[in-house]
A and B are shown apart, each in its own frame.
Chain A
């Protein structure tokens, strides 16, 4: 029991436990939100290495007017929501946030920024739960929990994403976030209630000769749908992401060429000055002073590679989801074929 009292948050998180109600709340919000970037806050407690997420509430959509203004109103929204929830004995400590995504492509600047802020403010640094709408629609509700890796956070704090920093921190897109194991839990009341719902209720007037009666939750076979409508969109998104990546790479290489040019100019200047001085010394004159080169030539700072890193991560995620769809599609096709030949 002594372990449970953990004031300084010293026990590292080993697992995130998501309550059944939060599961439905996130799914509903993600599906209804006008854009694909539905997000909200997660509330809960951590106990002995397990982070229990027991409630959540959605945050209003930013209507991209004033960034400052919307941030303020969002903060006010959070504060009053937390106060209200506390009054009805709900958990009121923020433990992270959730983010909806389609086709697994959730890498974005805003996600990283929010999580980086949380990592400083919250106990255990907070977590982000990513929910994939498109996968849920295909019949496999998917939730994943992530936090930023120490290496990425270090680079982020120095806001230095130059090539050398990336090398030092060994950063690729797969080492930006680390996954935390996630579990779904339903409390006994919910389990019991769900059981009642799913149980065949004896409808008094129906003449069901075959079945065991009707259940509130009839069987669903959306998993077995052979349709491949989503693939086209997935492919389009990949192409778009690759295009964006190419543009970004172009910008980067343009900037690095510019840096190289400026640097060459500066070096040229220094070499020339040295040569001149040598001849002057040979002629017996006083050498010209070595001027500060950096003042004469402005060498631009090395560009940040964060954006291209995130884009690569997005491409990878899209590719993975496409591959997943294709492989399950293959299984389903063979299953259908087997059914039709018998």
Chain B
């Protein structure tokens, strides 16, 4: 799943060439981003000063074989003028050390900037970060916030390689790398919460949400899907549409799920267990309440 506008680029991974390059780390071919990193970048962009056309910062994460997982990010001060670019290195170091204390596993993997233009300064900053990510190629993630007219919001990731007969820091080629959003399943509900918040007209939602409400939403979504499948199947049966064997196979696998367990009295047993637990929970709470009240009575 690409993050952002689709591109027609083919990403070819060259075969590892012999022993000569065995020790050199391979360039990442795949980059994943955690929502926290992304949202921090957006927040940083929101808090920029008027004079800053774009903001940059450091990406932290972990490396696997040839995949880089960006897990968080922090803002770094920098200034760009027509003549020069400056990055506050002390600041970058301090922030990294602070961050490292809490998440010891996360290391510097590269940098981000907002906006999608790559220029000489990008190459210079890239050069700086390549020194920070010793032995590993630095990655560059550019986040287009979609604020400017005519630009689509999206995320792109690049690695760099030197260009020219004499490698100079201000010359490099940025090679796009596929990037996608990745998060743990357990964090999914947080994103759902934000999504529904973002969709509401006031951009706010109150907590806590009742469990039942969320179940209702899911069940409605499922029934909506069933309706869509049903419409499709009817269309195929009546000959209005040509059936796709792959879809048929998927439907068979999904809907053929066995519910034998439920029918063979499993339902009643599970029901009794659940009721028992519910009873127990209420009993425990009642006891706790009673004993906290009893503590309030003075010995006569």
Chain A residues within CB distance 8 Å of chain B: 17-21, 23-25, 27-29, 31-32, 54-55, 57-61, 77, 80-81, 84, 87-90, 133, 136-144, 163-164, 166-167, 170-174, 181-198, 201-204, 209-210, 214-217, 219-224, 228, 231, 235, 238, 242, 305, 308-309, 312, 315-316, 318-320, 322-333, 335-337, 339-340
Contacts and interface: CB of A to CB of B under 8 A. Distances in A.
B101 A222 contact: no
Given A191-B203, A224-B218, A326 B184 contact: no
Given A17-B204, A193-B145, A186 B194 contact: yes
Chain A to chain B: the 8 pairs with minimum beta-carbon distance, closest first: A191-B198, A323-B281, A340-B259, A326-B278, A322-B281, A319-B284, A319-B285, A137-B186
Contact of B194 (A23, A320, A339, A340): A23
Given A25-B36, A167-B298, A192-B153, A141 B195 contact: no
A190 B198 contact: yes
12 contacts: A20-B197, A28-B36, A88-B44, A163-B299, A183-B204, A183-B207, A192-B146, A194-B195, A222-B185, A329-B274, A337-B262, A337-B267
A340 B256 CA distance: 11
Given A184-B207, A231-B277, A23 B190 contact: yes
A203 B2 contact: yes
Contact of B153 (A84, A193, A305): A193
Provide the main secondary structure of the chain B interface. helix
Given A59-B102, A166-B295, A330 B275 contact: yes
Contacts, number: 299
A223 B214 contact: yes
A210 B195 CA distance: 24
Given A210-B247, A340-B263, A90 B47 contact: yes
Interface string B102-142: 11000000000000000000000000000000000000000
A18 B203 CA distance: 11
A72 to B, nearest CB: 14
A245 B3 CA distance: 51
A172 B278 contact: no
A208 to B, nearest CB: 10
A87 B296 contact: no
B3 A216 contact: yes
Nearest to B286: A319
A242 B215 CA distance: 31
Contacts of A29: 102
A186 B277 contact: no
Given A196-B152, A197-B3, A223-B214, A210 B190 contact: no
A173 B145 contact: no
B211 A328 contact: yes
A325 B46 CA distance: 40
A37 to B, nearest CB: 13
B198 A136 contact: no
Contacts of B101: 60, 77
Contact of B193 (A173, A184, A326, A330): A184
B98 interface: yes
A81 B98 contact: yes
Given A89-B47, A90-B75, A203-B1, 6 more contacts: A28-B71, A139-B218, A198-B195, A231-B277, A336-B259, A337-B262
B1 to A, nearest CB: 5
B205 A326 contact: no
Contacts of B98: 77, 80-81, 84
B211 to A, nearest CB: 5
B23 interface: no
Given A136-B186, A140-B189, A238 B284 contact: yes
A144 B208 contact: yes
A218 to B, nearest CB: 8
A143 B207 CA distance: 7
A139 B296 contact: no
B264 to A, nearest CB: 11
A163 B295 contact: yes
A217 B191 contact: yes
Contact of A305 (B39, B197, B295): B295
Contacts of A137: 185-186, 189
B204 A326 contact: no
B102 A184 contact: no
A334 to B, nearest CB: 9
B24 interface: no
A340 to B, nearest CB: 4
A167 to B, nearest CB: 5
B197 A327 contact: no
A21 B43 contact: yes
A189 B42 contact: yes
Interface stretch (B12-20, B161-169, B170-178, B221-229): B221-229
Contacts of B29: none
Interface string B9-53: 000000000000000000000000011101110111111110000
A221 B222 contact: yes
Contacts of B221: 219, 221
B189 A136 contact: yes
Contacts of A316: 284-285, 288-289
B85 interface: no
A139 B2 contact: no
Interface string B257-297: 00100110001001100110110111011001101110111
B87 interface: no
A204 B288 CA distance: 60
A108 B211 CA distance: 26
A60 B104 CA distance: 10
Interface string B57-77: 000000000000001100111
A195 B184 CA distance: 20
A319 B282 contact: yes
